[in-house]
């Protein structure tokens, strides 16, 4: 079978598509990729003549992909093609199968299911009983159960990075590349897909990691073929298992020796500061942890992040005292919160000595507990279909007054600067009360982008760039939304 993956834009290596592609190739299928930001996907599809069109969809982007899918199908002039959707939105919003032009959706993990689908289509026709797939057959919806989670991540072939790098010149040449060492998270944060994921995969263990040796092999394999000076591990939580981390800390500096970035959790750091010592031993330069909200009620009851402000402050100081930078994630505009709550979160980040604070405007994603809470309590304007593609620029929540919503959008631009320079809070309070117009919005966006770019280059992913690579990185960075 000929499988064409269609992406709107790629900002860094999409781990899921790369793994799906390598599994498909291992099974004897042909795989291609088109990126709409770089070329006309309709023309690519005409030339490639796919048997399967594959889309990985986040909530907010689904309408774009529905429309593009229809355009591609029409351009194929009646050639039989199976349209498959996977990713978070189909997994948690499977009723999207009723959309015109959608033939099947994959619920949950896709490596085995996509190969089974391609094998079936290549061997004479669709089998309606493939686990993880919901199909639309002659107008009827067929719903299959999910198969068990794949525990042995070491059984997968290496992710197909050539699929991305052959198409995306910036990512190919970038000295920073992204890797996945684990899947899953044992925690129940209400805004996150993870807890909803385990409502689908009931009684499954939460969180499992690739063998250290395989992870090291992949990194060294990548470095032998493409530029690589800094590894970014995008796992939800890198420090779950001590035995894995101890083996990693022993082998990584000896066999790889590259600086790296990973994600941690504040209460785990406080209860186990040895984890940070192991990261330092391995060569970690920067970690990220979720702060999310300073208000105790919001953090513990609404978000179900059972840690204290003191945990967050202590964790930040433990990490910085170890000589490692720490970035944070934060959510502004949460249901029942106020601008004062968000400013308090800004101050908490400063107390925790955060090197760079990312802040996102809350989006009530379908399938999450907090998304359902938002909908059930009429905190949301419209429906889940109205959620924007990115979580930086706008919110669909109901606010007590227009001033709060206006100030929230401005605060998102100044938040990280307020963490870096706490003395600026009185100034920021005045700035966020300014009206929205093109000049103010663009000026605030530029200040935000410049400071974020500085922090990422100097602290988050401190890497040597040639002049050419630096210019390419700057151009790529300013094209990224947010």
CA 470, distance to chain mean position in Å, is 24
Q: Which residues of 298-326 are buried (b: 16+ CB within 10 A; e: fewer)?
A: bbeebbbbebebebbbbbbbbbbebebbb
How many Å apart are CA 379 and CA 45, to the nearest integer? 41
CA atoms within 13 A on the CB side of 277: 7
The pLDDT value recorded for residue 390 is 57
Torsion 193-195-196-197 (CA) sign = positive
Taking Cα atoms as reference points, which of 265, 456, 482, 326 lies closest to residue 391?
Answer: 482
How many Å apart are CA 344 and CA 282, to the nearest integer? 34
Residue 327, both tokens: 């970035």
Residue holding tokens 């009983």?
129
Residue 346, both tokens: 């800004």
The pLDDT value recorded for residue 198 is 79
Phi, then psi, of 453 in degrees rounded to 5: -60, -40
Torsion 234-239-242-248 (CA) sign = positive
Helix 339-351 with 309-321: angle, nearest 10 deg: 30
How many Å apart are CA 252 and CA 259, to the nearest integer? 10
Q: What is the three-state SS of the chain?
A: CEEEEEECCCCCCCHHHHHHHHHHHHCCCEEEEEECCCCCHHHHHHHHCCCEEEEECCCCCHHHHHHHHHHHHHHCCCCCCEEEEECHHHHHCHHHHHCCCCCEEECCCCHHHHHHHHHHHHCCCCCCCCCCEEEEECCEEEECCCCCCCCCHHHCCCCCHHHHHCCCHHHHHCCEEEECCEECCCCCCCCCHHHHHHHHCCCCCCCEECCHHHHHHHHHHHHCCCCCCEEEECCCCCCCCHHHHHHHHHHHHHHCCCCEEEECCHHHHHHCCHHHHHHHHHCEEEEEEEEECCCHHHHHHHCCCCCCHHHHHHHHHHHHHCCCEEEEEEEECCCCCCHHHHHHHHHHHHHCCCCEEEEEECCCCCCCHHHHHHHHCCCECCCHHHCCCCCCCCCCECCCCHHHHHHHHHHHHHHHHHHHCHHHHHHHHHHCCCCCCHHHHHHHHHHHHHHHHHHHHHHHCCCCCCHHHHHHHHHHHHHCCC
The pLDDT value recorded for residue 197 is 80
Q: Cα–Cα–Cα angle for 320, 326, 331, nearest 5°?
A: 135
Contact 195, 188 (CB under 8 A): yes
Q: What is the pLDDT along the chain (482 residues), one digit of tens a residue?
A: 999 999 999 999 999 999 999 999 999 999 999 999 999 999 999 999 999 999 999 888 899 999 999 999 999 988 999 999 999 889 988 889 999 999 999 999 999 999 999 999 999 889 899 999 999 998 899 999 999 988 888 889 999 999 999 999 999 999 999 999 998 888 889 988 877 787 788 877 777 889 999 999 999 999 999 999 999 999 999 999 999 999 999 999 999 999 999 999 999 999 999 999 999 999 999 999 999 999 999 999 999 999 999 999 999 999 999 999 999 999 999 999 999 999 999 999 999 999 999 999 998 887 788 988 988 898 888 676 667 665 556 677 878 777 888 999 999 999 999 999 999 999 999 999 999 999 999 999 999 999 999 998 888 887 765 656 556 655 654 565 55
Q: Which long-range contacts link 167-170 to residues 24+ away (Cβ below 8 Å)?
A: 167/33, 167/34, 167/35, 167/38, 168/10, 168/35, 168/38, 170/472, 170/473, 170/476
The pLDDT value recorded for residue 319 is 98
- Reading phi first (left if > 0) and then psi (alpha if -120 to 50, else beta), residue 43 is in alpha
The pLDDT value recorded for residue 472 is 60
Cβ contacts of residue 144 below 8 Å, gap of 6+? 128, 129, 130, 131, 132, 133, 134, 135
């Amino acid at each position: 079978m000929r499988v064409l993956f269609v992406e709107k834009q790629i900002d860094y290596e999409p781990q899921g598509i790369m793994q799906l592609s390598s599994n498909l190739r291992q099974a004897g299928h042909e795989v291609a990729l088109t990126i709409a930001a770089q070329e006309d996907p309709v023309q690519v599809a005409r030339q490639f003549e796919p048997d399967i069109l594959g889309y990985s969809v986040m909530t907010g982007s689904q309408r774009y992909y529905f429309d593009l899918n229809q355009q591609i199908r029409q351009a194929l002039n009646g050639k039989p093609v199976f349209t498959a959707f996977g990713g978070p939105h189909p997994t948690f919003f499977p009723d999207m199968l009723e959309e015109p032009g959608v033939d099947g959706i994959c619920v949950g993990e896709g490596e085995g299911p996509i190969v089974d689908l391609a094998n079936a289509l290549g061997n004479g026709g669709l089998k309606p009983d493939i686990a993880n797939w919901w199909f639309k057959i002659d107008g009827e919806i067929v719903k299959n159960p999910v198969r068990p989670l794949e525990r042995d991540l070491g059984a997968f072939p290496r992710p197909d990075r050539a699929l991305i790098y052959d198409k995306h010149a910036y990512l190919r040449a970038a000295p920073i590349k992204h890797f996945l060492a684990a899947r899953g998270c044992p925690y129940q944060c209400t805004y996150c897909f993870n807890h909803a994921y385990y409502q689908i995969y009931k009684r499954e263990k939460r969180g499992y990691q690739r063998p250290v040796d395989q992870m090291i092999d992949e990194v060294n394999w990548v470095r032998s073929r493409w530029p690589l000076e800094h590894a970014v591990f995008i796992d939800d939580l890198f420090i779950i298992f001590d035995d894995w981390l101890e083996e990693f800390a022993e082998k990584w500096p000896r066999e790889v020796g590259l600086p790296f970035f990973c994600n941690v959790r504040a209460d785990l750091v406080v209860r186990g500061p040895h984890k940070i010592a192991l990261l330092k031993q391995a060569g970690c330069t920067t970690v990220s942890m979720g702060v999310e909200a300073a208000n105790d009620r919001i953090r513990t009851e609404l978000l179900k992040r059972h840690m204290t402000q003191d945990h967050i402050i202590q964790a930040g100081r433990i990490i910085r005292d170890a000589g490692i930078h720490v970035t944070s994630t934060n959510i502004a505009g949460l249901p029942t919160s106020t601008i004062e709550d968000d400013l308090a979160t800004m101050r908490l980040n400063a107390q925790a000595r955060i090197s760079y604070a990312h802040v996102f405007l809350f989006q009530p994603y379908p399938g999450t507990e907090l998304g359902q809470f938002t909908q059930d309590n009429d905190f949301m304007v419209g429906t889940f279909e109205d959620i924007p593609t990115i979580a930086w620029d706008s919110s669909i929540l109901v606010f007590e007054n227009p001033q709060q919503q206006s100030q929230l959008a401005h605060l998102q631009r100044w938040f990280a600067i307020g963490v870096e320079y706490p003395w600026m809070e009185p100034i920021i309070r005045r700035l966020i009360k300014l009206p929205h117009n093109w000049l103010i919005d663009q000026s605030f966006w530029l200040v935000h982008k410049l400071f974020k770019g500085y922090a990422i280059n100097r602290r988050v992913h401190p890497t040597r760039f040639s002049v050419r690579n630096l210019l390419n990185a700057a151009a790529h960075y300013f094209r990224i939304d947010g």
